Structure 1
């Protein structure tokens, strides 16, 4: 959302054009931190009329070829961001300043549209274990396999004990569970 409404901008611009107050006094009167926005509004209003101070609702897209031509004009003529914006019938000089910063940091490639949003997930899901196994040395792989075999062996022993005598197995583990819960209650 815009910091200042279109009605407020028009009121300040008209007061400047019709009244005795200058940029600084108007900024002080309306609590605007500097006189620069008022100067921009007045310049834009003089050139474009009411359209010059209106906040645009839709984002205008400029071509990749247009942006360097604007910056080239500014460099050749020595025009300010505001004057350049007026020359190219734009009401947002800060957009040109942003283009200049991008051009200085990234060059012409910075103007090429970049895809927005998250990258799509690949359709071919690769199992994570393959990556882990490749990263592990041969010795680590063997240790991991040993550990898995031990776990499988312990599981099978418990399963066999349960199948032989389910009541005794459950009673044994029930007592262990109760003794653990009593220890927790004492803490």
Structure 2
């Protein structure tokens, strides 16, 4: 998604109001992929002025009740998503579209806040420890055997040849 600064948006809006062309012409002239983007900027400017074109610096979180209110207004008013987003001062129409899709798919549960980021690894670590328990005990046994062999070899360097004779002599 392309990010446009406030000055660029204002330039496009001013071109529209000065009569340089329609929304489709201006979107082509300024190389903006969607005409709905230009339309949204014009509506934001009409409602909020120059400040309405400013990008929000921080991500805003919305409560479930707020989302329900927005969708309720959308369904009852018959207005488009752009108009509803502007009325509730939501910076992107994609946010309202996503809420609508989640509500249509999952109902009210789709509007509940979701955890962000990666899930904690604590449960996975515990299950890995249980899976690795037999390997750990086998590893400890092999270390003990190796330590025993090293000790015997330091005390009796001929022990291996003696064991070999016992095992392989006729």
Same fold (TM over 0.5): yes
Q: State the TM bucket, normalised to the shorter chain.
A: 0.7 to 0.9
Residues 130 and 100 of structure 1: CA distance in aligned 2, closer, same or farther (over 3 Å): closer
Matched pairs, number: 156
Matched residue SS, 1:49 = helix
Matching of residues 106-125 of structure 1 within 5 Å: 106-117=106-117, 118-119=119-120, 121=122
8 Å CA contact 1:6–1:53 kept in 2: the answer is yes
What is the CA distance between 1:61 and its match in structure 2?
A: 2.4
Aligned to 2:129: 128
What is the CA distance between 1:28 and its match in structure 2?
A: 1.5
Residues of 1 paired with 2:13 and 2:144: CA distance?
Answer: 81
Residues of 2 paired with 1:85 and 1:47: CA distance?
Answer: 12
Structure 2: tracts of 5 or more residues without a match: 162-170
What is the CA distance between 1:97 and its match in structure 2?
A: 0.7
Matching of residues 82-97 of structure 1 within 5 Å: 82-97=82-97
8 Å CA contact 2:23–2:39 kept in 1: the answer is yes
Matching of residues 30-179 of structure 1 within 5 Å: 30-117=30-117, 118-119=119-120, 121=122, 128=129, 156-165=148-157
Residues 98 and 25 of structure 1: CA distance in aligned 2, closer, same or farther (over 3 Å): same
RMSD: 3.5
Q: TM-score normalized by structure 2?
A: 0.72
Residues of 2 paired with 1:39 and 1:127: CA distance?
Answer: 54
Structure 1: tracts of 5 or more residues without a match: 134-143, 173-187
Q: TM-score normalized by structure 1?
A: 0.67
8 Å CA contact 1:81–1:97 kept in 2: the answer is yes
8 Å CA contact 1:53–1:91 kept in 2: the answer is no
